[in-house]
Amino acid sequence: MIEAPVSKDQAAAEPLVRIRGVTKRFGSFTANDNIDLDLFAGENHALLGENGAGKSTLVKMIYGLIAPTEGTILWRGAAVALKNPEEARALGIGMVFQHFSLFDNLTVAENVALSLPRTESLKTVPDRISDIASRYGFALEPDRPVWTLSAGQRQRIEIVRCLLQDPHLLILDEPTSVLTPQEAEALFGVLDRLRGEGRALLYISHKLDEVKRICDRATVLRHGKVVATCNPREESARSLAALMVGSQVKDVKAAADRTYGGERIRVDGLNLPAGDMHGVSLQSISMSVRGGEVLGVAGIAGNGQSELFAALSGEAAARDANAIRFDGGAVGADGVTQRRRRNAAFVPEERNGHAAAPDFSLSENVVLSRHAESGVTRSGFVDYGRAQNLAGSIISSYDVRKAGPDPAARTLSGGNLQKFVVGREILREPGVLIIDQPTWGVDAAAAAAIRQAILDLAARGAAVVVISQDLDELFEISDRIAVIHMGRLSEAKPAGAVTREEIGLLMAGTASGDARAH
């Protein structure tokens, strides 16, 4: 057993990978800030952090997918500048991605053969797969087409691909996110063997229970910085969650001095099956939001946020019309336009292609979400004069910076386009607003403007649901906060009475059963 943070053996040994002062900037955004990290042979090292904490950026640099802006990566003590993943693989670095890059209609053996050097004979591939599978104690039939396999079996193909190159370091990006608990158990067995063979594992996860069970050391990232390196077995899930989400609580406005109207959004036992393989099914979601209230929905990406947004906006209709009620009217079976006619407004997460059509002008984008109201369209014809006037008032009210009088949506910067699509909905004075990731990838000034607009709308009596992965944001604007985990929504708690640690535990799914009751 390796003691944290570094055992005597490790202190003496040369680390396999030594990362020193690595910084990665994308434009003005710093994804990784002065990262130091050591990885030793024979350890399973966890990389913990919330979405957007910079985990993916860091491992992409180790795997040669992107180059660091500053700092050095040392491999066995020698500085390396990896230009591409091929160079990383040549050194002995393998990576298992979260979303598999497999060919569905090809067999297991064919998928593996494609990643082998051209000199390898195709005929020996099935035998080599069976060899590896039996060595690590899992089953994988070389002749099965991939589309007939489960997610766990697909992941094994990716692992076999890596192992055929005999890597010294294996990076696993949230490997259990698509696995059933049983498949995850099998994976842990394989990982233990790999570590026993003296390979280093870098295990990216936000599942604290898993990390406590199988990892020897953990490095926690927050906002692109290393905030701690610890032995996860000696930490509690609570203390790890606190490290992940940051323990200092910001000024949270008191909910008491706000006045609420009647209930405007009511969701009762909403169920929605997953749309595709990577989707999440919503399970008995319930919530109630009053006029003047902002309900924040926290959660780690991929726990059902997009599905919840789709269900609330009408992009995915519920089977039971009564499962969703806006202002008392059953809207569960209604489409988006019908719900808009009930004075509801929706801002999806993706600006380009979902909230706005990138190649359409701003005035045309106004028509897209507001055609249902009288005014912009008249007996089937578009009134472009009116649409341009509306676009103009959105632009001036929300300080949208743009080039030209009526430019295409894609020419706007992310923050300005987000202000535009949020403004487009809020200027309608909706009674119900559902907004997903309102400030994702938006600069601080635009984010503040958008949050202020949301608060102002609520103050005028609207009920608002904000789905966000940014806890700071949720604590800043929400009256109550609920957490979505694996398609289930926790009970909403007053933002002033709940701690970040509690929210963090709910996000990681480690809270006790009563906290998840709904």
Partner 1 sequence: MNVQIIELVLVTIVTAATPLIIASVGELVVERAGVLNLGVEGMMIAGAAIGFAVAFLTGSTFLGALAAIAAGMFMSLLFGILAVGLAANQVASGLALTILGLGSAGLAGASFVGQKRESAASLYIPGLSDLPLVGKLVFGEDMFVYTALALVIAVSWFLNRTRAGLALRAVGENHGSAHALGLPVRRTRMLAVLFGGACAGLAGGYLSLAYTPFWSPGMTAGRGWIALALVVFSSWKPWRLLAGALLFGGATVLQLHAQAASIGLPGQVLSALPYLATILALVVLSLRNRRGSIAPGSLGTPFIPDR
Do 471 and 498 contact (CB within 8 A), yes or no?
no
Candidate list 28, 86, 181, 381; residue touching partner 1; CB under 8 A? 86
- What is the C-alpha separation between 207 and 517, in angstroms, rounded? 20
By the rule CB under 8 A, 104 interacts with partner 1: yes
Burial 7-26 (b: 16+ CB within 10 A, else e): beebeeeebbbbbeebebee
- What is the C-alpha separation between 216 and 302, in angstroms, rounded? 27
Residue with smaller CB distance to partner 1, 359 or 429: 359
- What is the C-alpha separation between 499 and 502, in angstroms, rounded? 5
Residue with smaller CB distance to partner 1, 86 or 514: 86
Candidate list 67, 122, 448, 459; residue touching partner 1; CB under 8 A? 122
Residue with smaller CB distance to partner 1, 159 or 191: 159
By the rule CB under 8 A, 254 interacts with partner 1: no
By the rule CB under 8 A, 105 interacts with partner 1: yes
- What is the C-alpha separation between 113 and 469, in angstroms, rounded? 39
The distance of closest approach from Cβ of residue 199 to partner 1 in the complex, given in angstroms and rounded to an integer, is 23
- What is the C-alpha separation between 90 and 125, in angstroms, rounded? 20
- What is the C-alpha separation between 393 and 131, in angstroms, rounded? 67
DSSP-based three-state secondary structure for 485: strand
Q: Which of 235, 221, 213, 242 is nearest to 508 (CA)?
A: 242
How many CB atoms neighbour CB 518 within 10 A?
A: 14
Candidate list 7, 30, 98, 115; residue touching partner 1; CB under 8 A? 115
By the rule CB under 8 A, 178 interacts with partner 1: no
Residue with smaller CB distance to partner 1, 47 or 102: 102
Do 92 and 168 contact (CB within 8 A), yes or no?
yes
By the rule CB under 8 A, 148 interacts with partner 1: yes
Residue with smaller CB distance to partner 1, 113 or 492: 113
Residue with smaller CB distance to partner 1, 155 or 305: 155
Task: For residue 480, give both structure tokens.
Answer: 């109550």
Stretch binding partner 1 (CB under 8 A), from 11-19, 113-121, 127-135, 471-479: 113-121
CA atoms within a 13 Å half-sphere pointing along the CA-CB vector of 15: 18
Residue with smaller CB distance to partner 1, 125 or 506: 125
Q: Which of 435, 437, 480, 473 is nearest to 457 (CA)?
A: 435
By the rule CB under 8 A, 81 interacts with partner 1: no
The distance of closest approach from Cβ of residue 167 to partner 1 in the complex, given in angstroms and rounded to an integer, is 17
DSSP assigned state of 352: B
The distance of closest approach from Cβ of residue 144 to partner 1 in the complex, given in angstroms and rounded to an integer, is 12
Stretch binding partner 1 (CB under 8 A), from 101-109, 179-187, 280-288, 395-403: 101-109
By the rule CB under 8 A, 276 interacts with partner 1: no
By the rule CB under 8 A, 358 interacts with partner 1: no
Residue with smaller CB distance to partner 1, 110 or 472: 110
- What is the C-alpha separation between 409 and 387, in angstroms, rounded? 14
Stretch binding partner 1 (CB under 8 A), from 69-77, 144-152, 388-396, 505-513: 144-152
Stretch binding partner 1 (CB under 8 A), from 67-75, 112-120, 172-180, 341-349: 112-120
Residue with smaller CB distance to partner 1, 105 or 248: 105
In angstroms, how far is CA 186 from the centroid of its own chain? 25
By the rule CB under 8 A, 110 interacts with partner 1: yes
Who's near 47: CB < 8 A, 6+ residues apart?
Answer: 55, 58, 59, 202, 203, 204, 205, 218, 219, 221
Candidate list 11, 67, 103, 337; residue touching partner 1; CB under 8 A? 103
Residue with tokens 């910067």: 413
Candidate list 35, 41, 102, 323; residue touching partner 1; CB under 8 A? 102
Candidate list 137, 147, 278, 373; residue touching partner 1; CB under 8 A? 147
Task: For residue 82, give both structure tokens.
Answer: 């990896």
- What is the C-alpha separation between 150 and 154, in angstroms, rounded? 6
Residues lying near partner 1 in the complex (CB under 8 A) are found at 86, 101-106, 110, 113-115, 118, 122, 145, 147-148
